[in-house]
């Protein structure tokens, strides 16, 4: 019976969609939180009086426009970059297959040297290379990883990656803006936004920990530190321009 690798990853290694798309979720979520908070912090740094004059509708308008525009850009950017990465992998793998077919001696020597560099004896390396040469597809896969350092991305969907990036950006990005849906744009509301932003960053850090199972404090600390640094910069920019208008 043929092994279903997709199902095997889920059953034996608990690799589901959260693990598979963790990069897009964390990247999109962090960027959504930070860029949306940058809008809020920019208004707050500019001055409470100015924000009051603008009104909560304007804050929400700028915030929602930022979420949708940047989220779409992030999602489509992820789609294009993933497509490019997959196309590059396929192109290099085809070159490897061509070399294996038309320059077998050189490829054989390369495989043997790679195996020996991994502490394999010459006799074992030669035996394994013989097996590889009888299976050129497997040999090409081996060379892609150990010679070129390129992971196989052909079973991944660029469209799904882009969708996860977009959804993560929008969902997490809406959190810093949420107090302004219910309260007037004053200093107290900004404080609530700060707490909401902190909570969103902690939640994103906990999601990293849940998926990776590495140290929970490190996951949360790194996420809050990176996001918090960007948030402070955004507020500082607002303060810098506060007296200019």
Say how far apart CA 35 and CA 170 lie, in whole Å. Answer: 11
The answer to whether residue 245 sits within a structural domain is no
Residue 80: what pLDDT? 92
The answer to whether residue 5 sits within a structural domain is no
The answer to whether residue 11 sits within a structural domain is no
**pLDDT tens for the chain, residues 1 to 245:** 444 444 444 544 444 556 677 888 888 888 888 888 888 877 766 554 545 545 567 778 888 888 899 899 999 999 998 899 888 889 998 998 998 888 888 888 888 888 888 888 888 888 888 888 888 888 888 888 888 888 887 777 889 889 999 999 999 999 988 888 887 777 788 888 889 988 999 998 888 888 777 788 888 898 889 888 877 777 777 666 655 54
Exposed, middle or buried by CB within 10 Å (0-12, 13-18, 19+), for 193? Answer: buried
Structure tokens at 71: 């989220």
Distances (CA, A) of 153 to 134, 169, 208: 24, 23, 22
pTM of structure: 0.77
The answer to whether residue 202 sits within a structural domain is yes
Residue 9: what pLDDT? 47
Q: What is the separation, in whole angstroms, between the first and last Cα of the chain? A: 73
Say how far apart CA 195 and CA 39 lie, in whole Å. Answer: 15
- Domains: count for the chain: 1
Say how far apart CA 150 and CA 23 lie, in whole Å. Answer: 17
Q: Are 153 and 88 in contact (CB under 8 A)?
A: no
The alpha carbon torsion through 202, 203, 205, 207 (nearest 10 deg) reads: 170
The answer to whether residue 8 sits within a structural domain is no
Residue 16: what pLDDT? 52
Task: Look at the block and give the residue holding tokens 């070129």.
Answer: 148
The answer to whether residue 9 sits within a structural domain is no
Residue 13: what pLDDT? 40
Residue 236: what pLDDT? 76
Domain extent at residue 117: 17-240
The answer to whether residue 197 sits within a structural domain is yes
Residue 11: what pLDDT? 47
Residue 172: what pLDDT? 92
Residue 57: what pLDDT? 72
The answer to whether residue 3 sits within a structural domain is no
């Amino acid at each position: 019976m043929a092994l279903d690798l997709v199902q095997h990853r889920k059953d034996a290694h608990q690799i589901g969609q959260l693990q598979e798309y963790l990069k897009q979720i964390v990247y999109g979520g962090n960027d959504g939180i930070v860029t949306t908070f940058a809008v809020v912090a920019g208004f707050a740094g500019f001055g409470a009086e100015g924000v009051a004059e603008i009104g909560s509708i304007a804050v929400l308008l700028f915030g929602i426009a930022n979420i949708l525009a940047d989220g779409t850009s992030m999602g489509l950017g992820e789609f294009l970059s993933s497509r490019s990465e997959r196309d590059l992998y396929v192109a290099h793998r085809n070159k490897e297959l061509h070399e294996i077919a038309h320059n077998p001696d050189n490829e054989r020597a390369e495989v043997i040297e790679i195996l020996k560099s991994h502490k394999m004896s010459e006799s074992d390396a030669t035996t394994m290379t013989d097996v590889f040469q009888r299976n050129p597809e497997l040999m090409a896969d081996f060379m892609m990883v150990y010679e070129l350092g390129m992971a196989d991305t052909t079973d991944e969907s660029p469209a799904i990656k882009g969708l996860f990036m977009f959804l993560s950006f929008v969902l997490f990005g809406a959190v810093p803006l949420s107090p302004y849906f219910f309260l007037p744009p004053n200093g107290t509301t900004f404080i609530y936004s700060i707490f909401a932003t902190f909570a969103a960053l902690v939640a994103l850090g906990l999601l990293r920990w849940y998926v990776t199972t590495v140290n929970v404090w490190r996951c949360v600390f790194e996420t809050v530190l990176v996001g918090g640094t960007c948030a402070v910069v955004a507020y500082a920019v607002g303060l810098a321009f506060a007296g200019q208008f």
